[in-house]
C-alpha cells in the first residue's frame, strides 16, 4: 500500500477512535458542545503531532487562535479523559515552566489495534 494511502487510513482510524471515545463516553456534567470541542482539539493535536510540533498551550493557541483559557479548558478535559498525557517542561526562554502534552500511549495502542499505526 502506498505511503499516502497508509497515512489516510491512519488519519481516518484516529478520527473514528476519538469520535467513539469522546461521544460514546461523556464525562459527568459535560455538554455536547464541550464534547465537540474536544473532538476538534484532538484532530488539531494529532495533526500537530504528525508534523512533529510541540504540543504546548502556546503552540496550540498559535494554531487555533483561541485564548489561553479556551485552550486550557478543552485540553484539561482531554487530560482528564486520559487521551493526553501532560508533563511540565522548561518554557522556550528556559526560565519558567510550560505544560507540554502528548497523545497518550493507551490511545495510540488502541489505534494500532486497528492496524493503522
pLDDT digits (tens, 9 = 90+) for 52-83: 999 999 999 999 999 999 999 999 999 999 99
Cβ neighbors of 15 (< 8 A, separation 6 or more) are 43
pLDDT of residue 5: 73
| Closest listed residue to residue 85, CA positions, set 109, 112, 117 | 109
Using the predicted structure, report yes or no on whether residue 116 has a pLDDT greater than 70: no
Collapsing DSSP to helix, strand or coil, 89 comes out as strand
pTM over 0.75: yes
pLDDT of residue 1: 55
pLDDT of residue 117: 47
pLDDT of residue 37: 97
3-7, 13-17, 54-58, 59-63: least confidently modelled range: 3-7
Distances (CA, A) of 17 to 21, 24, 25, 57, 71: 6, 10, 12, 24, 21
| Closest listed residue to residue 71, CA positions, set 49, 41, 33 | 41
Q: 97 and 37 in contact (C-beta within 8 Å)?
A: no
pLDDT of residue 115: 61
Q: 39 and 61 in contact (C-beta within 8 Å)?
A: no
Q: Which three cell numbers stand for residue 115?
A: 492496524
CATH code, 3-113: 1.10.10.10
Amino acid at each position: 500500500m502506498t505511503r499516502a494511502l497508509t497515512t489516510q487510513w491512519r488519519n481516518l482510524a484516529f478520527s473514528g477512535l476519538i469520535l467513539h471515545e469522546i461521544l460514546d463516553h461523556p464525562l459527568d456534567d459535560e455538554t455536547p458542545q464541550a464534547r465537540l470541542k474536544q473532538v476538534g482539539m484532538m484532530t488539531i493535536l494529532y495533526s500537530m503531532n504528525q508534523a512533529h510540533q510541540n504540543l504546548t498551550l502556546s503552540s496550540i493557541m498559535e494554531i487555533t487562535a483561541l485564548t489561553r483559557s479556551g485552550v486550557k479548558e478543552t485540553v484539561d478535559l482531554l487530560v482528564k479523559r486520559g487521551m493526553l498525557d501532560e508533563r511540565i517542561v522548561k518554557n522556550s526562554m528556559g526560565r519558567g515552566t510550560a505544560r507540554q502534552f502528548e497523545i497518550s500511549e493507551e490511545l495510540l495502542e488502541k489505534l494500532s489495534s486497528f492496524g493503522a499505526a
